[in-house]
Structure 1
Amino acid sequence: MSNSEMSCVGVEEHHAVDIDLYHCPNCAVLHGPSLMKKRRNWHRHDYTELDDGSKPVQAGTRTFVKQLRARSFPSADEVILKMHGSQLTQRYLEKHGFDVPIMVPKLDGLGLRLPPPTFSVLDVERYVGGDKVIDVIDVARQADSKMKLHNYIKYFTNPDRPKVLNVISLEFSDTKMSELVEVPDIARKLSWVENYWPDDSVFPKPFVQKYCLMGVQDSYTDFHIDFGGTSVWYHVLWGEKIFYLIKPTDENLALYESWSSSVTQSEVYFGDKVDKCYKCVVKQGHTLFVPTGWIHAVLTSQDCMAFGGNFLHNLNIGMQLRCYEMEKRLKTPDLFKFPFFEAICWFVAKNLLETLKELREDGFQPPSYLVQGVKALLTALKLWMKKELVTEHAFEIPDNIRPGHLIKELSKVIRSVEEENNKPVKTQGILGVCSASRSSHETASPHHSRRRVRKLRDHATKTPSNLDILELHTREDIANSKLNGRFNKPFQPSSTVPDWRTKDNDLRLVLSNGRIIRDERRPFTDRSLYTADSEDEDDRTRSKKVTVKREDQTSGLEGEGNADAQKPLNSKERNLALTKS
């Protein structure tokens, strides 16, 4: 039966699989209630299978949870950092990296605002609305189904629970409950979405920072890596959760991918396949930050409400991209991937290009984590723009970005940085240590006044001409029409490439003061859109000349003094985004 059909007959989706013979209300008068399937085992997802002792235990079943509780694990104290909220700063993570989980026992100093521990599931219903349809996991079957929030709250508050149902994906940014929660300062400051997502983007902004998790005792989520390699924060409001943590080493990631694609995945406990799986108990009032790529499973050891959120950041760009590519190989459904992951990578690349240029103009050496991350990002962008793959990735290329030009400029900047260091910078690895960032030098920098002037000039109000006003109006109308036509769903799959992106009549003509300044009516016949090795080769032959020219310009700047601060500027001052837990 479909969801609508089950709704009409008053049967919850997760109950439908338990019915052997359905009797409608009229038939029930004569023949009694619907006949239910008979349970024959407690260790298989299909509880009707005969228990002949030949089939292994599957994840999430009652037998599995009982065995999991009896297992012994090394303590996560061996690997995690415990710190006060005020110590968890952007500067700290820039300097020391964000490569291991971080536990913060108290709220103080985190900037995390939450409801009081007396906040109940009934309050969630009051703020979110009982008619909201949510995803619910039937833990014993490890299967997802839909349910109205009101019905789940009714189930949660009933002491007689025939099943273990878990809610881990209730994102509430668009509800009244959002006003009660402020995410940790460090997550907000590092977030790609918060720092780089443009307000005028035709792509819907991803909302992945505010989740409410409600789980009854013995709820279990099997081993996974958070979508897009996002880092994640969890705070237990009341109750308790147990995390089983595995380092994202090369070997462990290869084992994880193999295990994830196996037909016997549910019958194999992944923790047994690796050298060490750490147990981390998160008690009421504790906040846990899990870094990029860490493989983890979660057991709800007692009824629990928790809040959490996901975020991408600059500290582990290489690992984030590695996780995304793994998701594609595993054919992860778009519903379970980071919304518009490739689009945000283009936005980030554009902004980091300006950041690198400004750092070099101001006499700073870019931090190694940033150079490594940009190199990893550049490799991914080149791959996505190869001729044989471009149509697969074209949908998520933002309209205001010239991919070929951006790739070329990023390549130039990275080569210049490496030449200045007199040695190549290795591509970002899994557990790289971050160097001190630009923010570490700002207060002592003799160039900070120049940077402040640039920022003020970039934000200065400009009086537009009549033609510029017309152009802005036209762009707004076009953006609105595209938005209505392109997004009838919350978000569109990354792999879907609409026909309009390749049609000749998709006119992209931009005028300013009566002149054509951009004409992209045939975007995919222009060689500059593709990754061109010949362009890179040409750039290499010119690199020495560019270096000499830059040195001449630098010596000229020293003689001009404050006149440099009055030059027209190319970009806004942007804060470096950092790794998020």
Structure 2
Amino acid sequence: MNNLEDFANGPPVQEPADPELLDQLEEEPDAQPMIPAASAAVPVLNGGQQSDDSDSEFDVLDEGPIEDVAEDNGMEDAVNENERANAPGDDGIHHAPEDDGIHNAPEENQMNEEPENNEMDDEPQNDNAPENNEIDDEPQNDPEAIENVEEPRVQQKKTGRARKSVRKGNNMWLTTRGNKNRSKNNCLQFSLKPAEVAEKKVFLKKMQELMLHRTANGDMMYKPGCKEFLEIFAQHEHLLRNNKFKIKVWNDSKEYNKKLGNFNVPHLFKTSKDLRLRAPDINFQNVVTFLWESDDVLVINSMTRETTKMSMKSFLDTFNEERGDQALNMLSLEVSKLETINKELEEVEYVRNVSMVSILERALAARKDKLMRHRNDANSARELPLVKKMMKEMPRYTKFVLVSMEKSFTDTHVDMSASSVFYHVDEGRKVFYVAPPTEANLKMYKDVELGKKDVWLLEEFWDQWQRIEIKKGQTAMLPSGWLHFVWTPEDSIVFGGNFLREEDLERHIEFTELEIQCQDHGTAGLDSEFLFRKFYPLLFAYIQYVVLPDIEEFPLVPNDERLTALQVFAKLEGKPDEDWMSTSEQNRIVELLRSEMAKVAIEDNEPSTSQGRLSLASISEPKNKKTRNH
């Protein structure tokens, strides 16, 4: 539950490598993730926002064959050209054409560049939809590749589930062939081949046998991340994929807001230009020049799970030394206060727009300016020091620099306060294995964290893990509550961050309380260093400086879309011993919110189309709210 890779069952361990999996998906802005029918869906707060997606967070698969054919003029030639270009290379993996439109043969041993069997979901018939595609689940038992391209637009024929039409986009083509299954909402499935199914069973058996070894005290002898564990894991980790739910993979990041949608499934952007992430040119040769200011950093040896503090120079020097049985992993360096890098590193734009911390910071900056203009007023003079204090002590978690040795491994966890994550690989590779936040999954996770159950979560969710490989220059975004563990197949430098969203506030509070319980009971190896600092003071300040001013400007109306998120804020009660506000002041602020909400009647679940913003987070948009018409 630490930052990006976090501590779950002990100190963090790290991340996976590179096989022929994840490219199972292509883009479709409104597609939903898939889980087994037996899994219970966890409702996600939308902050009142409406979605084109289905009502449930995870849809149940409705299997059925579908035949794909090319229908545009000239497509036959494109298909033939693509078939010639996609002949398997030495690695046996079929690769997509490059962005320049030239179909290149795959490089030797290049895993997962465009894995075997990539598919495209049908997009709704909407000319305004982003011209990009979510790489969807791979076709079943198809030995041939699906050509995946930069920005094709796909439309579903109205005559049922028989075909896809393929349209030209950015001088590139998408062609599909092979046997597929899809659900009612056009979600294609991926299935392991029979030989892989058998291999995955052997993989699990090997892992189970390894974990059975115990010390005299009954502790696990070979813990996840140790040398013996990694010898088995590295051989078979590419099999940790399934046909139960999907992850969205995008060839570019244009119109990322449409692609992210409600942001309730993981996304991988193969190029990050339009995410507006700004980062310095860092590599292993010059990284010390950017990080030399930092104090001693917390470093974890994934193989032994030992944690130590080292100077930055000493830590980086170990990358050039004989490593032996160590895989050092630096996960907790947030660089907002380091002048040498802070100004050159900027989070992805989406995070700046929706992060509750970022929204509050902007609101406080505006309030400070107003108070400064009226500082001779007695009320302003009293409030100004508090606003300055909040700005100075604001918890910042969106500018992490993670430096990891090859073979680093982080065991299963949910990030602190169930915060969402963005993760940009600057050097090397990382592999995430994710499982959806179903009610059953989260209950199991909580029981393990609280010491109520003694099970190994990697094994417990064995058939749910979905593999996401993040290569150099790519950016992954993981929503709130998704369970994950991470493997580092080669030395890596990563820029990333954690952020809270109003839409996920209920889950943020739920997991913050879980972490406090774990800390109080001494379970899960947590201490205050790995909790989201000033979580509750942040929420009360958010009500005072963001929520209430917004209601004042746009009064609530019956069935207002904002009420969903406001109901969560209204349940808060003052917390003792908080230095931003007294408990009585916190309660006063919440009572003000409740009184505003009491002025309107919640008649039904349908949102009003009257005034009021679509989401409180839209305060982050650089627009004149006065002119907005909702």
Q: TM-score, normalised by structure 1?
A: 0.58
Q: CA deviation at 1:217?
A: 1.1
Matched, 1:345 2:539: yes
Residues 438/179 of structure 1: CA separation in 2 closer, same or farther (3 Å cut): closer
SS in 2 for 1:180: coil
**Greater fraction helix:** 1
Please say if residues 114 and 182 of structure 1, whose CA atoms lie closer than 8 Å, have aligned partners that are also in contact: yes
Please say if residues 247 and 265 of structure 2, whose CA atoms lie closer than 8 Å, have aligned partners that are also in contact: yes
Residues 318/263 of structure 1: CA separation in 2 closer, same or farther (3 Å cut): closer
Aligned amino acid, residue 589 of structure 2 = L
Rounded to whole Å, the distance in 1 between the matches of 2:350 and 2:552 is 25
1:360-385 per-position Cα deviation (integer Å, ceiling 9, x unaligned): 36x79643xx4222212222x23xx3
Aligned amino acid, residue 100 of structure 1 = V
Please say if residues 559 and 604 of structure 2, whose CA atoms lie closer than 8 Å, have aligned partners that are also in contact: no
Residue 410 of structure 1: aligned partner: 593
Please say if residues 242 and 281 of structure 1, whose CA atoms lie closer than 8 Å, have aligned partners that are also in contact: yes
Residue 356 of structure 1: aligned partner: 551
Matched, 1:374 2:557: no
- Which aligned pairs between 1:287-436 and structure 2 lie closer than 5 A? 287-331=475-519, 332-350=526-544, 351-360=546-555, 366-367=560-561, 370-379=562-571, 381-382=572-573, 385=574, 390=575, 393-398=576-581, 402-417=585-600, 419=601, 421-423=602-604, 436=614
Q: CA deviation at 1:305?
A: 1.1
SS in 1 for 2:300: strand
1:29-65 per-position Cα deviation (integer Å, ceiling 9, x unaligned): xxxxxxxxxxxxx979x99x689x9955312111122
Residue 102 of structure 1: aligned partner: 267
SS in 2 for 1:262: coil
Task: Pick 1 or 2: higher relative contact order, CA cutoff 8 A, min separation 6.
Answer: 2
Please say if residues 435 and 461 of structure 2, whose CA atoms lie closer than 8 Å, have aligned partners that are also in contact: no
Deviates more, 1:235-244 or 1:153-162: 153-162
Rounded to whole Å, the distance in 2 between the matches of 1:448 and 1:152 is 48
Rounded to whole Å, the distance in 1 between the matches of 2:488 and 2:220 is 26
Please say if residues 569 and 590 of structure 2, whose CA atoms lie closer than 8 Å, have aligned partners that are also in contact: no
Aligned amino acid, residue 126 of structure 1 = T
Q: CA deviation at 1:316?
A: 1.2
- Which aligned pairs between 1:137-156 and structure 2 lie closer than 5 A? 137-156=300-319
Rounded to whole Å, the distance in 1 between the matches of 2:497 and 2:617 is 25
Please say if residues 59 and 269 of structure 1, whose CA atoms lie closer than 8 Å, have aligned partners that are also in contact: no
Which residue, 199, 206, 229 being the options, matches 1:64? 229
SS in 2 for 1:301: strand
Residue 73 of structure 1: aligned partner: 240
1:132-186 per-position Cα deviation (integer Å, ceiling 9, x unaligned): 3100001122232100111111101225444111111111122202232111111
Rounded to whole Å, the distance in 2 between the matches of 1:298 and 1:129 is 27
Rounded to whole Å, the distance in 1 between the matches of 2:466 and 2:551 is 38
Q: How many residues are matched?
A: 380
Rounded to whole Å, the distance in 1 between the matches of 2:566 and 2:436 is 23
Aligned amino acid, residue 246 of structure 1 = A
Residue 355 of structure 2: aligned partner: 191
Residue 413 of structure 2: aligned partner: 224
Please say if residues 277 and 347 of structure 2, whose CA atoms lie closer than 8 Å, have aligned partners that are also in contact: yes
Residue 523 of structure 2: aligned partner: none
Residues 406/275 of structure 1: CA separation in 2 closer, same or farther (3 Å cut): farther
Rounded to whole Å, the distance in 2 between the matches of 1:128 and 1:439 is 33
Rounded to whole Å, the distance in 2 between the matches of 1:169 and 1:315 is 26
Residues 165/448 of structure 1: CA separation in 2 closer, same or farther (3 Å cut): closer
Q: CA deviation at 1:215?
A: 0.9
Matched, 1:168 2:331: yes
Please say if residues 288 and 313 of structure 2, whose CA atoms lie closer than 8 Å, have aligned partners that are also in contact: yes
Q: TM-score, normalised by structure 2?
A: 0.54
Residues 397/179 of structure 1: CA separation in 2 closer, same or farther (3 Å cut): closer
Residues 235/271 of structure 1: CA separation in 2 closer, same or farther (3 Å cut): farther
SS in 1 for 2:470: strand
1:250-286 per-position Cα deviation (integer Å, ceiling 9, x unaligned): 2111100112233986x72434246512111111111
Deviates more, 1:223-232 or 1:65-74: 65-74
Q: CA deviation at 1:343?
A: 0.7
Residue 286 of structure 1: aligned partner: 474
Please say if residues 188 and 194 of structure 1, whose CA atoms lie closer than 8 Å, have aligned partners that are also in contact: yes
Please say if residues 450 and 517 of structure 2, whose CA atoms lie closer than 8 Å, have aligned partners that are also in contact: no
Residues 354/441 of structure 1: CA separation in 2 closer, same or farther (3 Å cut): closer
Identity of aligned residues (%): 21
Rounded to whole Å, the distance in 1 between the matches of 2:233 and 2:426 is 24
Residue 492 of structure 1: aligned partner: none
Structure 1: stretches of 5+ with no match in the other structure: 1-41, 427-434, 453-575, 577-581
1:452-509 per-position Cα deviation (integer Å, ceiling 9, x unaligned): 9xxxxxxxxxxxxxxxxxxxxxxxxxxxxxxxxxxxxxxxxxxxxxxxxxxxxxxxxx
- Which aligned pairs between 1:366-515 and structure 2 lie closer than 5 A? 366-367=560-561, 370-379=562-571, 381-382=572-573, 385=574, 390=575, 393-398=576-581, 402-417=585-600, 419=601, 421-423=602-604, 436-437=614-615, 449=626
Please say if residues 422 and 498 of structure 2, whose CA atoms lie closer than 8 Å, have aligned partners that are also in contact: yes
Q: CA deviation at 1:99?
A: 0.9
Matched, 1:260 2:449: yes
Please say if residues 86 and 109 of structure 1, whose CA atoms lie closer than 8 Å, have aligned partners that are also in contact: yes
Q: CA deviation at 1:315?
A: 2.0
